Amino acid sequence: MPASTQMKSVIVKNVKKTFRAGKLKVTALENISFEVTPGELFGVIGPDGAGKTTLFRILTTLMLADEGVAEVDGLDVVKDFKTIRKQVGYMPGRFSLYQDLTVEENLSFFATLFNTSISENYDLVKDIYVQIEPFKHRKAGALSGGMKQKLALSCALIHRPSVLFLDEPTTGVDALSRQEFWELLRNLQKQDITIVVSTPYMDEAGLCNRVALLQEGKILDIDSPLGIIGKFKKPLWAIQSKTMYRLMMDLKKMVDVESCFPFGQEHHIMLRREDMVHSLERDLVALGHTQLKIKRIEATIEDAFMELMKPH
Amino acid sequence: MNVIEVNKLSKHFGPFKAVDEISFTVSRGEIFGFLGANGAGKTTAMRMLCGLSLPTQGEASVAGFDLYKNAEDIKRNIGYMSQKFSLYDDLTIRENIRFYGGFYGLDDEQIKTKTRSMLHQLKLEKDAHKMVKSLPLGWKQKLAFSVALLHEPQIVFLDEPTGGVDPITRREFWSMIYAASDNGTTVFVTTHYMDEAEYCHRVSIMVDGKIDAMGSPTDLKEKFSARHMGDVFLKLARKAKRGDE
Assess if residue A264 is contained within a domain.
Answer: yes
Segment-wise mean pLDDT, segments of 10 residues, chain B, 245 residues: 95 95 97 92 94 95 96 94 84 96 93 95 93 88 95 95 90 92 96 93 96 96 95 92 60
Backbone φ and ψ of A259, nearest 5°: -155, 155
A220 and A109 in a common domain: yes
B36 and chain A in contact, CB less than 8 A: yes
Average pLDDT over residues A79-96: 91
Contacts with B166 from chain A: Cβ below 8 Å: 46-47, 50, 215, 309
Assess if residue A1 is contained within a domain.
Answer: no
A257 vs A263: CA distance, rounded Å: 16
Domain boundary residue, one of A205, A230, A255: A230
A136 and A206 in a common domain: yes
pTM assigned to the model: 0.89
Question: Has residue A195 got a pLDDT over 70?
Answer: yes
> Which residue, among A27, A94, A176, would best test binding to B if mutated, counting the most B CBs under 10 Å from its CB?
A176
Contacts with B136 from chain A: Cβ below 8 Å: 49, 216
Q: Give the residues across from B92 on adjacent strands.
A: B131
Contacts with B131 from chain A: Cβ below 8 Å: 24
Contacts with B217 from chain A: Cβ below 8 Å: 265
pLDDT band at A5 (very low <50, low <70, confident <90, very high): very low
Closest C-alpha among A74, A55, A39 to residue A195? A39
Closest C-alpha among B43, B8, B9 to residue B244? B43
A275 and A205 in a common domain: no
Assess if residue A46 is contained within a domain.
Answer: yes
Domain boundary residue, one of A230, A258, A274: A230
A174 and A256 in a common domain: no
A182 and A72 in a common domain: yes
Question: Has residue A95 got a pLDDT over 80?
Answer: no
What is the span of the domain harbouring residue A210? 10-230
Q: What is the pLDDT of residues A134-146, one digit of tens each?
A: 999 999 998 877 7
A206 and A81 in a common domain: yes
Contacts with B193 from chain A: Cβ below 8 Å: 201
A280 and A133 in a common domain: no
**What pLDDT is stored for residue B243 in this prediction?**
56
CATH number of the domain encompassing residue A265: 3.30.70
A248 and A215 in a common domain: no
Query: Do A33 and A14 form a contact (C-beta atoms < 8 A)?
Result: yes
CA distance A225 to chain B (A): 17
B146 vs B172: CA distance, rounded Å: 13
B37 and chain A in contact, CB less than 8 A: yes
Assess if residue B242 is contained within a domain.
Answer: no
**What pLDDT is stored for residue B242 in this prediction?**
73
Assess if residue B174 is contained within a domain.
Answer: yes
Query: Do B29 and B182 form a contact (C-beta atoms < 8 A)?
Result: yes
CB contact under 8 A, B167 and A47: yes
Average pLDDT over residues A17-29: 87
B93 vs B75: CA distance, rounded Å: 23
**What pLDDT is stored for residue A6 in this prediction?**
64
B231 and chain A in contact, CB less than 8 A: no
Domain boundary residue, one of A176, A208, A230: A230
The whole-angstrom distance between residue A147's C-alpha and the CA centroid of its chain comes to 20
What is the span of the domain harbouring residue B11? 2-237
A242 and A223 in a common domain: no
Assess if residue A189 is contained within a domain.
Answer: yes
Q: Considering all CA atoms of chain B, what is the largest pairwise distance in Å, rounded to the nearest integer? A: 55
The total number of structural domains that make up chain B: 1
- Give A44: exposed, middle or buried? Use CB within 10 Å, 0-12, 13-18, 19+: buried
Assess if residue B130 is contained within a domain.
Answer: yes
CA distance A288 to chain B (A): 19
Nearest beta carbon to residue B137 from set A47, A146, A302 = A47
Question: Mind spelling out the 3-state secondary structure of chain B?
Answer: CEEEEEEEEEEEECCEEEEEEEEEEEECCCEEEEEECCCCCHHHHHHHHCCCCCCCEEEEEECCEECCCCHHHHHHHEEEEECCCCCCCCCEHHHHHHHHHHHCCCCHHHHHHHHHHHHHHCCCHHHCCCEHHHCCHHHHHHHHHHHHCCCCCCEEEEECCCCCCCHHHHHHHHHHHHHHHHCCCEEEEECCCHHHHCCCCEEEEEECCEEEEEECHHHHHHHCCCCCHHHHHHHHHCCCCCCCC
**What pLDDT is stored for residue B239 in this prediction?**
86
CATH number of the domain encompassing residue B35: 3.40.50.300
pLDDT band at A1 (very low <50, low <70, confident <90, very high): very low
A243 and A144 in a common domain: no
Residues 6+ apart with CB under 8 A from A312: none
A243 and A206 in a common domain: no
Q: What is the pLDDT of residues A223-267, one digit of tens each?
A: 999 999 999 988 999 999 988 889 999 999 999 999 999 998 899
Mean pLDDT in chain A? 92
Contacts with B165 from chain A: Cβ below 8 Å: 47-48, 200
| CA nearest to B240 within chain A | A176
Query: Do B143 and B93 form a contact (C-beta atoms < 8 A)?
Result: yes
Assess if residue A154 is contained within a domain.
Answer: yes
The total number of structural domains that make up chain A: 2
CATH number of the domain encompassing residue A73: 3.40.50.300
CA distance B220 to chain A (A): 13
